[in-house]
C-alpha cells in the first residue's frame, strides 16, 4: 500500500536495524505472549513489510506505532484523509489499547471523509462506520476506557443530533428508523424478549435503557441525544479524575437538549422531522447538574446550572407543572451570585437573563 511504503527509507531502515539488534529478545517475547487476540484480524492487504513488523516486533511494536503516527500527522496536514483510514487501522493493530488511535480513526471516518462525499447516503455510511469502529471494535478491546464511551457519545450528539452537516436529516432518520420497531409509540424502550434480542444486536442493552428512563424520565430513543446519554453515562460510571467530569458533561449536555427538543413529534413514514420539549426530564436534569456541580465546583459549571434553570423555568411556566417551576425557582435563587438581582418567575418567563460582571 502507498501509505506504508511512503514512510520513507530512513524509517524502514530504523525498524530493520532494531529488529536485527533485538532478534533473540523479540523471539522470546513472541513465544511468551503468543500474540494477543487483538491481532487476529489481519487481512491479506497488509503489506509484507508491516506483516514482518507485526510478527517479529512483539513488545516493541510501540516503536513501529510511533513511526506510523508520524506518517499519520503528515497525512492529516496534507488532507489525505482516505489514506489515513488504512494507516490508522494498522496503528490500532499495533497498539489496540491506545484509545487515541481509535478516536482518531473514528473521527476521520465520521467527519473528514464523510464530508468529502456528495450523496447523503454515502456520507451516512462513513458516519456509521465511525460509530461502529468505536462501538464494535474499540470498546471490544478497551471495555473500561471511558474516553471511548465519551467520544462515541459525542458522535451521536454532534454529528447526528446537531444540524451542522447538510446531511444531518439523513443521519437522524436512519437512526430513528433503525430503533423504532423496538420502541413504544412515545419512543421509550419496549422490553419484550424479541426486542431485547434485536437491540442487543445494535449493541444496546434494554435493561440499561430502562434504567436510564427510570432515572431521567421518558427518553425518546429515536433521537441521537438519548444515545449520547446512553454511551456517556457508561463512561461516567468508570471514569476518574478529570475524565469523570468530561463524561458527566457528555451526559448533561444531551440531557439539557432533550428537555427542550427531546420528543419526536414528526413522522417517519412521511419523512417529516420535528421535535418538541420533553419537560418530564427537567427536574432530573437539574438534579444531575447539581450533583455534578457538587463533585466538580466551578464558576463555569454554576453558570451552566443557572442558565439551564432559567430556560427550564421559562419552558415549564406555560405548562401544568407549577410544582416543578417552584422547585427549580427555589434552586435558582440559591445558586444566584450574592449580588445578583433575584427575578420573579414572570420575569424569567419573559426572557430575563443574568448579567455577569
pLDDT per residue over 199-237, tens digit each?
999 999 999 999 999 999 999 999 999 999 999 999 999
CA distance 67 to 4: 10
CA distance 54 to 60: 10
- pLDDT by residue (tens digit) across 320-348? 788 999 999 999 999 999 888 899 999 99
CA distance 151 to 131: 9
pLDDT, mean of residues 13-31: 41
CA distance 142 to 275: 35
In the structure grid, which three cell numbers stand for residue 261, read together? 427538543
CA distance 329 to 314: 10
- pLDDT by residue (tens digit) across 32-75? 444 333 333 334 444 454 455 555 555 555 555 555 656 656 65
CB distance 139 to 148 below 8 Å:
yes
Share the mean pLDDT of the chain: 83
Cell 494498522 maps to which residue? Answer: 90
- pLDDT value at position 141? 86
- pLDDT value at position 340? 86
- pLDDT value at position 50? 47
Element (H, E) at 184: none
- pLDDT value at position 319? 82
Please choose, from the candidates 100, 99, 109, the residue with its C-alpha nearest in 3D space to the C-alpha of residue 140.
99
- pLDDT by residue (tens digit) across 95-105? 677 788 888 88
- pLDDT value at position 61? 56
Q: Is the dihedral of CA 159, 212, 202, 199 positive or negative?
A: negative
pLDDT, mean of residues 288-295: 97
At residue 14's C-alpha, the angle toward residues 8 and 16, to 5°, is: 105
| Alpha carbons within 13 A on the beta-carbon side of 94 | 26
Burial profile 125-160: b = 16 or more Cβ within 10 angstroms, e = fewer:
bbbbbbbebbbebbbeebeebbbbbbbbbbbbbbbb
- pLDDT value at position 21? 41
More confident position, 184 or 351: 184
pLDDT at position 113 over 90: no
pLDDT, mean of residues 135-155: 94
Task: Return the beta strands (E) in the chain as ranges.
Answer: 263-264, 275-276
pLDDT at position 139 over 80: yes
pLDDT at position 354 over 90: no
Which of 7-11, 225-229, 249-253, 353-357 is least confident?
A: 7-11
pLDDT, mean of residues 177-200: 98
SS3 190: coil
More confident position, 67 or 25: 67
More confident position, 8 or 208: 208
CB distance 137 to 102 below 8 Å:
yes
pLDDT, mean of residues 10-29: 42
- pLDDT value at position 343? 92
Which of 26-30, 160-164, 255-259, 304-308 is least confident?
A: 26-30
- pLDDT value at position 93? 67
- How many other β-carbons are positioned within 10 Å of the β-carbon of residue 236? 25
CA distance 109 to 123: 9
- pLDDT value at position 268? 97
| Alpha carbons within 13 A on the beta-carbon side of 257 | 21
- How many other β-carbons are positioned within 10 Å of the β-carbon of residue 58? 18
Amino acid at each position: 500500500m502507498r501509505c506504508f511504503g511512503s514512510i520513507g527509507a530512513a524509517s524502514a531502515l530504523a525498524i530493520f536495524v532494531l529488529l536485527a539488534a533485538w532478534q533473540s529478545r523479540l523471539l522470546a517475547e513472541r513465544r511468551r505472549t503468543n500474540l494477543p487476540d487483538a491481532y487476529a484480524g489481519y487481512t491479506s492487504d497488509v503489506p509484507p513489510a508491516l506483516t514482518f513488523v507485526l510478527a517479529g516486533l512483539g513488545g516493541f511494536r510501540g516503536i513501529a506505532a510511533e513511526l506510523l503516527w508520524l506518517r499519520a500527522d503528515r497525512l492529516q496536514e496534507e488532507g489525505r484523509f482516505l489514506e489515513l483510514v488504512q494507516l490508522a487501522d494498522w496503528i490500532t493493530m499495533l497498539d489496540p489499547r491506545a484509545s487515541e488511535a481509535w478516536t482518531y480513526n473514528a473521527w476521520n471516518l465520521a467527519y473528514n471523509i464523510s464530508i468529502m462525499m456528495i450523496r447523503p447516503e454515502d456520507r451516512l455510511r462513513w458516519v456509521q462506520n465511525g460509530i461502529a469502529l468505536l462501538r464494535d471494535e474499540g470498546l471490544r478491546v478497551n471495555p473500561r476506557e471511558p474516553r471511548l464511551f465519551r467520544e462515541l457519545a459525542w458522535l451521536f450528539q454532534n454529528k447526528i443530533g446537531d444540524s451542522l452537516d447538510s446531511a444531518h436529516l439523513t443521519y437522524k432518520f436512519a437512526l430513528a428508523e433503525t430503533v423504532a420497531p423496538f420502541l413504544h409509540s412515545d419512543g421509550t424502550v419496549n422490553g419484550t424478549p424479541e426486542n431485547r434480542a434485536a437491540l442487543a444486536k445494535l449493541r444496546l442493552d434494554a435493561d440499561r435503557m430502562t434504567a436510564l428512563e427510570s432515572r431521567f424520565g421518558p427518553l425518546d430513543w429515536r433521537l441521537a441525544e438519548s444515545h449520547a446519554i446512553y454511551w456517556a453515562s457508561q463512561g461516567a460510571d468508570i471514569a476518574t479524575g478529570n475524565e469523570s467530569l468530561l463524561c458527566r458533561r457528555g451526559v448533561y449536555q444531551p440531557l439539557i437538549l432533550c428537555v427542550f427538543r427531546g420528543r419526536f413529534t414528526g413522522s417517519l413514514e412521511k419523512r417529516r422531522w420535528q421535535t418538541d420539549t420533553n419537560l418530564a426530564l427537567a427536574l432530573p436534569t437539574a438534579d444531575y447538574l447539581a450533583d455534578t456541580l457538587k463533585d466538580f465546583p466551578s464558576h463555569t459549571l454554576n453558570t451552566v446550572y443557572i442558565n439551564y434553570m432559567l430556560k427550564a423555568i421559562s419552558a415549564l411556566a406555560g405548562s401544568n407543572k407549577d410544582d416543578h417551576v417552584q422547585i427549580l425557582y427555589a434552586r435558582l435563587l440559591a445558586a444566584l451570585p450574592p449580588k445578583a438581582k433575584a427575578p420573579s418567575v414572570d420575569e424569567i418567563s419573559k426572557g430575563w437573563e443574568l448579567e455577569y460582571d
